[in-house]
Amino acid sequence: MPEVVTYRPEWRGEFERLNREWIETWFTLEDADRDTFRDPAAKILQPGGQIFFVVEGGEVLGTCAVLPHEPEVHEIAKMAVAPAVRGRGYGDLLMEAAIGFSRRAGARRVVIVSNTRLVPAIRLYQKHGFVRVPLEADQRYVRADIRLELTLGNEAG
């Protein structure tokens, strides 16, 4: 049975490996990626974010990060599932963990910046209630061509 767990330092390499796979397949690794991979604890955890992993049988099969931008705005980033296990619902598990984390932290909006070439990813985000909004001009990633947002209500989560 897969389980979603939070960051452990020994999984830093898995976080990078899983994300490099999709980034280098579709795009080019950018400085912002290298920056995050160099020290994910400093870039994501210390500002109040979290990194989630889907683990099954002791193997890390997926990951995603949640970064706070403002007290009430979080970003879901660096979501990746190992190619061999895509389509098994691991992305849904990661999305549920990330959205739940943001809701418990008091976020009112969750944003995702992505690329329209990643059709299965965009479908996953929309399935979880994200809607397309205008892309802001000051994005960190050259590959970004779509921005999606989820507005969180006051419901318990």
Mean pLDDT per 10-residue segment, the chain (157 residues): 96 97 96 95 96 96 96 95 96 98 97 95 97 85 94 68
Which pLDDT score, from 0 to 100, does residue 153 have? 80
Strands (E), the chain: 3-6, 50-56, 59-70, 73-81, 109-114, 131-133, 146-151
- Please indicate, yes or no, if residue 60 is contained in any of the structural domains: yes
pLDDT for position 137 = 75
pLDDT at 144: 92
In a domain, 156, yes or no: no
Nearest to 65, CA basis, from 88, 42, 89: 42
Q: Residue 156: its pLDDT value, please?
A: 47
What pLDDT is stored for residue 94 in this prediction? 98
Comparing C-alpha atoms, which of 79, 70, 71 is closest to residue 128?
A: 79
Range of the domain at 128: 3-151
User: Total domain count for the chain?
Assistant: 1
Give me the CATH number covering residue 129. Answer: 3.40.630.30
Show contacts of 13-17: CB within 8 Å, 24+ apart. Answer: 14/53, 14/60, 14/63, 15/40, 15/51, 15/53, 15/63, 15/65, 15/78, 16/40
Q: What pLDDT is recorded for position 157?
A: 42
